[in-house]
Structure 1
Amino acid sequence: MDRDVMTNEENYCFDVAGYLHVPGTLTRPEVERLNREIDAMGATEGMLGWPGKTREPFRDLLVHPALVWYLNQLVGQGFILDRAPEVWCEETCDTSTPLVGGNEPRDPAIAYYFQNGRRFSEGVRVLWALEDVEEGDGGFVLVPCSHKGNVATPEEVATGADDMGLILQPTLKAGDLLIVALATVQGMRPWQGEGRQRLLSYEFVGRGVIRSAGTGPKTEAEPRPEWHADLSAEQRASLYKPGYQATT
């Protein structure tokens, strides 16, 4: 990046709205390659372990310089991948599922708050747009400012029965980056666009956050997948999980 820290406007946007839109983060060739590999594999998940070079662009996104720069400031240095990447498209998204997130009741594993002059954003969803999303297309939606809410999300809003005029559907261009606090109410609505829907989703949390620790000795004994051996040191660091065997 050409500056040391996020601008006041970027900080304000994320703090107030619960999300940050970073246009043009990926180049056209990068977007084309990601789409090409997804089409070639015909799959929407498991890409970190795909064979050969098909997995490389997805691994590169774990430590994309722009993403790392933002996550170090929003989540904190030492952030880790908490949910493996997956493609969000019409075939994979269950739009009947209610929106998730919200600050009430507070979930410490995804909470957003300020304390003693320090920001704590325990988790974020990172969405890479691989196709354009125009106004009115549907797909991914969120409720701005809900990461600070003190009232539980009304059922009608979560299910889509009545959005109360609160729902925002971000417009994106292929290559854009959208960072959304996990405490922000968010989810999928039916796709109405003329083009193809394709978002690539990753979830990151702070280094000390464990949202799903597992049970019993499995967390200490479960070995790493074979494909971990091919990761760079930086990529491996992003997969660190406290309490799991050989993840340091």
Structure 2
Amino acid sequence: MTDDEKYFFDLNGYLVLRDVVDPDTIRRCNEAIDHYDDQIKVHERRFEGESKALTSDVRQRWSDEMVAWKRPYCEPFRQLMVHPRLKPYLREIIGDYHMATRPRLIVMDKGCAGHYLHGGQLDRLSYSLTYHWKFGKIYNGLTLVEFPLADEGPGDGGLAVVPGGHKANYPIPEALRDCEDFQDEIVEVNARTGDVVIFAEATIHGTLVWRADHQRRTLLYSYCPRYQTLSPPISEVSYPPYVQDMTPEQQAVLRPPH
């Protein structure tokens, strides 16, 4: 990660890296999605909330099953988990890291509803939204990596951020959250297939209504420091025999992050 990239990530809360993923990997991801298309279901949640600017009858479809699909369909998604170009960036931004959730796929057709802006400071302490700079180094909590599997150009919609929102100290204005005002503060993040967007969960971000004729397909991979997690661990944890003799309360304080 260059000094220039560190500067702009610290300033804006996100980076766009060009030409990271090779065309063959993009092709294999899209072929796998085509194969499992009938299993990618409409998400039950209305991500636009009460926003009139982001709502639509066309709903987002999500999946987090890609790494569990049969071979060879799972393979490109698994490879992206440990992409060599991204390791130094994640190490610089997070430190010692692991995946916070299973990889997610978001599919949006033309006119699909967006997602209200979120992130920034909350009215409670949230370690996933922590961001600070100290001793010449970035210390960030939850970090997201977006892999677009279709081009996201000017006016298409898709990922949007409020640059610098990871450092905001006041609650996000309701009209900004709903994308109903303050449009000059919102940046539509444009990226081509093969590019990668890295952003802090603390950066105010969301999704604009998808306007392009082609389908939006994007992957979201979430990483966080080793001391955090947002979902139950994938691996089973075994305890030495003496722990079995402890009270439930004593056992609870020995549990790993979950």
Q: Deviations over 1:4-25 (max 9, x none)?
A: xx11110011000000110110
Q: Report the CA distance shift for 1:144/1:83 in structure 2 as closer, same or farther (over 3 A).
A: same
TM-score by length of 2: 0.76
Ranges in structure 2 where 5+ consecutive residues have no aligned partner: 41-62, 237-253
2:77 equivalent to 1:58:
yes
Q: Deviations over 1:82-109 (max 9, x none)?
A: 1211222216x97354211013445222
Letter in 2 for 1:133: E
Q: Match for 2:201 among 159, 166, 182? A: 182
Q: Match for 2:21 among 26, 44, 47? A: 26
Q: Deviations over 1:202-240 (max 9, x none)?
A: 11111112345x7xxxx8xx965xxxxxxxxxxxxxxxx
Q: Match for 1:98 among 116, 131, 155? A: 116
Q: Is the 8 A contact 1:138 1:169 kept in 2?
A: yes
Q: Match for 2:225 among 169, 185, 206? A: 206
2:15 equivalent to 1:16:
no
The structure with more radius of gyration = 2
2:84 equivalent to 1:89:
no
Runs of 4+ off more than 4 Å: none
Structure 1 vs Structure 2: percent identity of aligned residues? 29
Deviation for aligned residue 1:66: 0.8
Alignment match, 1:154: 173
Letter in 2 for 1:9: D
Letter in 1 for 2:74: R
Letter in 2 for 1:243: R
2:106 equivalent to 1:111:
no
User: CA separation in 2, counterparts of 1:24 and 1:151?
Assistant: 36
Letter in 2 for 1:39: D
User: CA separation in 1, counterparts of 2:107 and 2:72?
Assistant: 23
Q: Match for 1:173 among 192, 205, 210? A: 192
Alignment match, 1:232: none
Deviation for aligned residue 1:244: 4.9
Q: Report the CA distance shift for 1:96/1:128 in structure 2 as closer, same or farther (over 3 A).
A: closer
2:248 equivalent to 1:243:
no
Of 39-48 and 22-31, deviating more is 39-48
User: CA separation in 1, counterparts of 2:98 and 2:235?
Assistant: 18
Q: Is the 8 A contact 2:13 2:200 kept in 1?
A: yes
Q: How many residues align?
A: 215
Deviation for aligned residue 1:177: 0.4
User: CA separation in 2, counterparts of 1:28 and 1:223?
Assistant: 32
- Where 2:101 maps in the other structure, the secondary structure is strand
Alignment match, 1:125: 144
